[in-house]
Chains A and B, each alone.
Chain A
Amino acid sequence: MFPRLWRYSVSLTGRRDWGDDLAQTTCVRALDRGDQFQPGTHLDRWLFTMAKRIWLNELRSRKVRTGGGLVPVEEIDLPDTAADQETNILARDVLNRVNALPEAQRHAVFLVYVEGYSYKEAAAIMEIPIGTVMSRLAAARKSLGAAMGMAKGGAA
């Protein structure tokens, strides 16, 4: 579970070092609040919701957020051990495109397309209405589609 929590944290914060901190902080808080976890419910969703709340609080208190998104959006480095170089470049490209999306869209894309949650489940984790999940995904698809279309056009 920890690798998934870490990946979620990196995706949510858009930065690997912030993701490290968020994943660790979430673990500590989860242990502290273990008595609130309902067995038979989903540990992953519980942890994700908790990480999201911690992150939003951090943003609020630190006022890291300015305008529509985060100021620092870095490229996410992949391990050099990835099997073949070409796949690695492609993966890096996809990650950076998603990472360049506004935070709210990136969050929805991660939960629905990467983690495979339904709209309803993703809405519950993000604590927003399903309609908002839909509009974020639609916006994300639009800009990702445009970016990929341009990349294709440029290569041709």
Chain B
Amino acid sequence: MSTAQSYTDEELTAFLDGEADAPLAEAIGEALEHDPVLAERLAALDIPILPLRSAYDTLLEAAPPMPALPAEVKAPATRFGWGWGMGTFGTGIAAGLAVAVFTGFGAPAPEPAPKPGWAAFVASYQSLYTAETLAAVQISEAERTAQLTLVSTALGLDLSTIVNAPGLTLKRAQLLAFNDKPLVQLAYQRDDGTPVALCIIPAGADGKPVSMGAAQGMELARWNTPGFGYLLIGGQDPVPLAQEAAVFERWSMDEAI
């Protein structure tokens, strides 16, 4: 008997689907060269996937429009009478999700306040910066615009109008990620060389005023507008940081309206 018996239908299926790991795929590929029984078994499992997919694509065209949903959720009157306890949803959370369901992906879906971890993440990252890190960085107006456009799109918040707090120079705008969420970092440098970063992440619907704190030996200020959490961090002096935070907070409040 041939080696055909040594491969299960599951293994052959994984092989056809490109899901077999490298040693298995190689072994099957090799066996196929001299094992007609195995080749026959594989052929029997090899169904045309593309026509199948396109058949289902025709079904997409048949989809009804999304039903209008009431502002206050009650159990829908379906023909099964499917029902369960439905809370009401008057919050921006549900509204934001509705936007996401309607429009597909990419709409910023709101969530509860970000986990405290993100400030620690930002602080660790920021602690790597020294005055020298940013001193050599000079960006042109065009680069600045391009970077801000990129991060604005990823974050879902227009940062092109962001103000310059007195004494700070924007050195770089970059996109990081925390817990699979976009995290935008705007790297500034004070006139005295101190690196300061403004970080923004999608957050819950509740606004919160500026609160000061410290992490990784640096001063920080954090606040929230509906939908976004802000963290300004850098240096060891809370006085200039609080002044800068006030300027950015005012801008973020205007932007949130």
Contact = CB atoms under 8 A, between A and B. Distances in A.
Interface of A: 1-7, 10-11, 17-18, 20-21, 24-25, 27-32, 34-35, 37-44, 47, 54, 58, 62, 76-79, 81-82, 87-88, 90-92, 94-95, 98, 109-110, 112-114, 116, 118-119, 131, 134-135, 137-139, 141-142, 144-146, 148-149
B96 interface: yes
B102 A35 contact: no
A81 B61 contact: yes
B86 interface: yes
B238 interface: no
Contact of A32 (B54, B78, B87, B110): B87
B59 A118 contact: no
Given A39-B202, A137-B17, A32 B73 contact: yes
24 contacts: A1-B100, A4-B60, A21-B76, A21-B82, A27-B69, A29-B84, A32-B87, A34-B89, A40-B202, A62-B80, A77-B62, A82-B61, A88-B58, A90-B55, A94-B51, A112-B17, A114-B56, A119-B14, A119-B17, A137-B10, A137-B13, A137-B17, A138-B10, A141-B45
Contact of B59 (A7, A25, A145): A7
A41 B10 contact: no
Interface residues of B, number: 66
Interface string B66-83: 110100010110111010
B52 A114 contact: yes
Given A39-B110, A94-B55, A98-B52, A145 B97 contact: no
**Residue from A29, A47, A94, A135 having most chain B Cβ neighbours under 10 A:** A94
B10 A25 contact: no
Contacts of A92: 55
B80 A39 contact: no
Q: Which of B16, B44, B101 has most chain A Cβ within 10 Å?
A: B101
B14 to A, nearest CB: 6
Contacts of A116: 53
A148 B49 CA distance: 12
B47 A144 contact: yes
Give the residue among B9, B62, B177, B180 with the most A Cβ atoms within 10 A: B62
A12 to B, nearest CB: 13
A110 B108 CA distance: 28
A2 to B, nearest CB: 4
B151 interface: no
B181 A39 contact: yes
Nearest to B78: A21
B76 A24 contact: yes
Given A24-B67, A27-B67, A113-B49, A37 B109 contact: yes
B117 to A, nearest CB: 14
B101 A20 contact: no
A40 B93 contact: no
B123 to A, nearest CB: 21
Contacts of A41: 180
A41 B109 CA distance: 10
Contacts of B89: 31-32, 34
B202 to A, nearest CB: 5
B131 interface: no
B19 A119 contact: yes
A77 to B, nearest CB: 8
Nearest to B70: A28
Among B63, B67, B89, B96, residue most surrounded by chain A Cβ atoms (within 10 Å): B63
B28 interface: no
Contact of A6 (B58, B64, B109, B179): B64
